[in-house]
Amino acid sequence: MSGPTPDPLLEALRACVGAAHVLAPDAPAAELEPFERDWRGRQRGRARAVVRPGSTAQVAAVVRACAAAGAPIVPQGGNTGLVLGGVPDPSGTEVLLCTRRLNRIRALDVANHSLTLEAGCVLQTAQQAAAEAGLWLPLSLASEGSCTIGGNLATNAGGTQVLRFGNARDLCLGLEVVCPDGAIWHGLSGLRKDNTGYDLRHLYIGSEGTLGIITAATLKLQPQPAAQGCAWVGVPSLPAALELLALAQRTLGPGLSGFELMGQLALQLVAQHLPALRPPLWPDWPYCVLIELSESADSETQMQARLQSLLQSALQQGCAGDAVLAESLAQAQRLWHVRESIPLAQAQEGLNAKHDISLPISRIPAFCAEAEALLAQALPGARLVNFGHLGDGNLHYNVQCPAGADAAAFLRQHEAHINALVFDCVQRHGGSISAEHGIGTLRAATLPRYKDVQALTLMRQIKQALDPQGLLNPGRVLARPLPDNPPP
Amino acid sequence: MSGPTPDPLLEALRACVGAAHVLAPDAPAAELEPFERDWRGRQRGRARAVVRPGSTAQVAAVVRACAAAGAPIVPQGGNTGLVLGGVPDPSGTEVLLCTRRLNRIRALDVANHSLTLEAGCVLQTAQQAAAEAGLWLPLSLASEGSCTIGGNLATNAGGTQVLRFGNARDLCLGLEVVCPDGAIWHGLSGLRKDNTGYDLRHLYIGSEGTLGIITAATLKLQPQPAAQGCAWVGVPSLPAALELLALAQRTLGPGLSGFELMGQLALQLVAQHLPALRPPLWPDWPYCVLIELSESADSETQMQARLQSLLQSALQQGCAGDAVLAESLAQAQRLWHVRESIPLAQAQEGLNAKHDISLPISRIPAFCAEAEALLAQALPGARLVNFGHLGDGNLHYNVQCPAGADAAAFLRQHEAHINALVFDCVQRHGGSISAEHGIGTLRAATLPRYKDVQALTLMRQIKQALDPQGLLNPGRVLARPLPDNPPP
């Protein structure tokens, strides 16, 4: 009623969800910023509107309104993504659809070990709901206090329990999805087995909001572990770390729930910037490994005995050089805390070129040797901060400037070269340039260089079939075919 | 050179794969029959040609030749499917593409626990290759001596190890697929984590050859179990069986690898037709349960102690009425043999209406009570042979004619009614009309009655996008939109 001619789409969106749940571009910057800026602060976009539907029907209404207006939609959950997949671009044409008001737990079926909940539920809330029923949702990420289930599924999140339970996709039994024309796929399901046609669930999981908007999901739960134990092992080499992994898989069986690798420099940064944490066995070994064992059945004592026996064998075989066994849950948590503090310690050391890569586990030693030699030759003094989920073949293979150099200047000058060098080497060893973070906008232009040509063709055919107007998260995953967006 | 004008497609196919590997429709019936007739003998089709390519490149060439001729293709592996998905229809227009000559093991990566092999490899050959490397492929089916890996993946096979390791899709890391235009997707991969775009692997798995032809796969292997144990338990009711399942999940942890249910009548048929097998605890309990525990770590003695302790708790709680513990591997195998002989005993009793259904585990007692009452009312005297993978929510819920009646006549008269009654009840309880067997031709016309409308729309959009000519396994999964093919 006041001000300049309003965008008619804003009126339509207000009619869908109520005026209180639509932010116009002229809203205070402080209100818009949490939606328009990615949490690492690398991009500040401009949304045509921020809209917060409170039900699946409202999501469908919003999608229909946007489709009618030809307005692209960017779905967003907790805005904790790492690849700029959930923030609007700077054009001011994209509608930011925030799922956080879809936050109801719809059903918890204890006998079926399943939890049905809406996409905007925060992961920690879901974990707690499971725990209150005596069950366990084995999805655990650094951002679990703010990331949402919808985002976890849209990006097929990884985390610390993948070795035993798989990625987010492996925990999902069913989905409810709003399609780009506003139709709703009612695919919630508590079934372990269902061979009645194409697996649409796995198609939407990991599609980063480009094919549909996940509004609810049914997740698979597990019995709570009765006992958890943890060991920290210094290993003489990467091949020894692999030998230790095989030994742990053989002797610990399916209870092996974590096998994390940490390079010497990664632990040095922790020791230097977070001295209270005191990494064990550092700096005596080129790599340390954190082994976690979780059992539903064993007692604490049996658990410790099994870890002890593993360590004895490993020391005898020579694949372990030295080892520490956590004697309490608190000690185990301190060991995990060291592992999880590596990114923070690295951030304190300064900007770096991050790579979330995966490789066949058997190729990791050869990859690391080759990549390290190439980097040493190309950028003398550059430092490798190498750590990650070795049991999953997933390394966070980060490159930091030479000690004392200007990190920002180094990155400006060399980041593209470093990325190409690392990713080319990953490709030669049969690996992936994104193990768990996804593609988003950050890697969309890079992807065609490393992805099978026919895979890209199939992806484009599927996108065209399911979102013919190209309204959902355009340019994410599949780069826009524009002349200003050439392959790197 | 001789005889009537040859079909030009036959010449083209011979040029692709060599004359020795093409069968024309005028080949001896005995040569054609193994390809044209489904193994249960329910359908004898007629192929325009049977073609047996020996390499991925030859598959691609055959597909291109068929596409050029507009000839539909029916891919076939071991021809062990249960839903008429892999045999040609009677029209004589479909080309049968047999994958069995694609039978090479391409790579076994012990450190990565992965096996790359061609689609035509027989499952048992793959199991043996893994075992020879000290590893385990935990996919096990009744037809493992003749079914192929390509067929296992195309149909997302289940089997006896699903409770712990999932279906065939959960064992697959990567695929190589020939698309309907002859293009090859090179998606073989030894990676546990790869978030670089849409999960094409899961789209092809379970699509029953309607979107592409799987020519090779990389499978995930496990350490061999060090010890396996088995118990046979009489339970007083279905709710008690569920209580026992929850107790087993809690106390046995991830080592629980089998939880099979067998109704009293199922065991009666075994006792009657295969008296040497002598089912334990029969006929004292309405249901018996077979529990299997597999551990990589424990010794045989520890394993038995864990099972013993479970049985003691179960007897105290009242969810078990009586129990037998296998004291040797041979005894365990005998117990499994009783379970696996139910279909044979049932076949000896006569024809029956088979249903491979799944339900949320929590709904199984209510479903069974309701379906049983409805059947008793509609068809007095009809007998329920109810058994299956309770831990997966998967029942083989078969209906046999009243004792002494003419089974064939009973089925002719009542099968459609029985199917509708059972499937309607499955739907009311949130279940699936095909847990592990797939849709094929057998259930294609029935599917639309039970599948979410939008799911079917999405499936049709995907089929249209990836196979616009509709050449691959037409009419399977998605029924042809013909007036003579109305919904049931």
pLDDT in tens, B85-133: 999 999 999 999 999 999 999 999 999 999 999 999 999 999 999 999 9
Q: Name the percent of chain B lying above pLDDT 70.
A: 97
**Per-residue confidence band for B1, with pLDDT thresholds at 50, 70 and 90:** very low
Q: State pLDDT tens for residues A210-265.
A: 999 999 999 999 999 888 899 999 999 999 999 999 999 999 988 899 999 999 99
Interchain proximity B200–A242, CB inside 8 Å: no
Interchain proximity B452–A194, CB inside 8 Å: no
A356-380: buried (b, 16+ CB within 10 Å) or exposed (e) per residue? bbbbbbbbbbbbbeebeeebeeebe
Distances in whole angstroms, Cα of residue B424 to Cα of each of A189, B407, B418, B449, B470: 16, 23, 10, 9, 31
- Two tokens, residue B121: 């490899």
Q: State pLDDT tens for residues B318-365.
A: 999 999 999 998 999 999 999 999 999 998 999 999 999 999 999 999
**Of the candidates A183, A192, A358, which has its C-beta nearest B191's C-beta?**
A358
What's the gap in Å between the CA of B465 and the closest CA on chain A?
Answer: 6
Give the residue among B169, B231, B184 at the shortest CA–CA distance from B53: B184
As a whole number of angstroms, the distance between CA B167 and CA B154 comes to: 12
As a whole number of angstroms, the distance between CA B316 and CA B310 comes to: 10
Q: How many CA atoms lie within 13 A of B420 on its CB side?
A: 9
Mode of pairing for the β-strands spanning B356-358 and B394-400: antiparallel
Contacts of B160 in chain A (CB under 8 A): none
Contacts of A114 in chain B (CB under 8 A): 360
Contacts of B435 in chain A (CB under 8 A): 191, 193-195
Helices (H) and strands (E) in chain B, counts: 16, 19
As a whole number of angstroms, the distance between CA B116 and CA A215 comes to: 37
Residue A403 has pLDDT above 60, yes or no: yes
**Per-residue confidence band for B254, with pLDDT thresholds at 50, 70 and 90:** confident
As a whole number of angstroms, the distance between CA B470 and CA A367 comes to: 43
**Per-residue confidence band for A488, with pLDDT thresholds at 50, 70 and 90:** very low
Q: What is the length of chain A?
A: 488
Please tell me whether residue B199 adopts helix, strand or coil conformation.
coil
Interchain proximity A296–B250, CB inside 8 Å: yes
pLDDT at B300: 83
Interchain proximity B193–A362, CB inside 8 Å: no
Residue B5 has pLDDT above 90, yes or no: no
Residue B488 has pLDDT above 50, yes or no: no
Asked whether the beta carbons of B31 and B23 are under 8 A apart, the reply is: yes
Q: State pLDDT tens for residues B69-84.
A: 999 999 999 999 999 9
Which one-letter amino acid corresponds to residue A131?
A
Interchain proximity A434–B358, CB inside 8 Å: no
SS3 content of chain B, % helix, strand, coil (to 5): 40, 20, 40
Contacts of A477 in chain B (CB under 8 A): 197-198
Contacts of A162 in chain B (CB under 8 A): 192-193
- Count Cβ atoms within 10 A of the Cβ of residue B408 and give its class: 0-12 exposed, 13-18 middle, 19 or more buried: exposed
Among B198, B208, B429, the strongest candidate for a mutation testing the A interface, having the largest count of A CBs within 10 A, is B198
Distances in whole angstroms, Cα of residue A326 to Cα of each of A250, A276, A290, A308: 21, 18, 11, 10
Number of Cβ within 10 Å of residue A409's Cβ equals 11
As a whole number of angstroms, the distance between CA A138 and CA A158 comes to: 11
Ordered by where they begin, the domains of chain A are 8-98 (3.30.43.10), 105-223 (3.30.465.10), 227-343 (3.30.70.2190), 350-428 (3.30.70.2740)
Interchain proximity B195–A437, CB inside 8 Å: yes
Interchain proximity B254–A249, CB inside 8 Å: no
Please tell me whether residue A24 adopts helix, strand or coil conformation.
coil
Interchain proximity B195–A464, CB inside 8 Å: no
What's the gap in Å between the CA of A184 and the closest CA on chain B?
Answer: 7
Among B457, B458, B464, B476, the strongest candidate for a mutation testing the A interface, having the largest count of A CBs within 10 A, is B458
Q: State pLDDT tens for residues A179-199.
A: 999 999 999 999 999 999 999
As a whole number of angstroms, the distance between CA B439 and CA A195 comes to: 7
Count of A-B CB contacts under 8 Å = 292
Interchain proximity A253–B199, CB inside 8 Å: no
Contacts of B246 in chain A (CB under 8 A): 111
| First vs last C-alpha separation in chain B | 48
Residue A314 has pLDDT above 50, yes or no: yes
Residues 6 or more apart whose Cβ sits within 8 Å of residue A355: A395, A396, A397, A398, A399, A419, A422, A423, A426, A433
Average pLDDT, stretch B293-298? 78
Q: Of A83-97, A246-260, A359-373, B177-191, which range is least confident?
A: A246-260
Average pLDDT, stretch A462-467? 98
As a whole number of angstroms, the distance between CA B351 and CA B400 comes to: 7
Contacts of A436 in chain B (CB under 8 A): 193, 195
As a whole number of angstroms, the distance between CA A285 and CA A234 comes to: 6
Phi, psi of A117, deg, nearest 5: -150, 165
- Two tokens, residue A86: 């959930």
**Of the candidates A249, A250, A458, which has its C-beta nearest B200's C-beta?**
A458
As a whole number of angstroms, the distance between CA A230 and CA A263 comes to: 18
Interchain proximity B112–A393, CB inside 8 Å: yes
Interchain proximity B197–A246, CB inside 8 Å: no
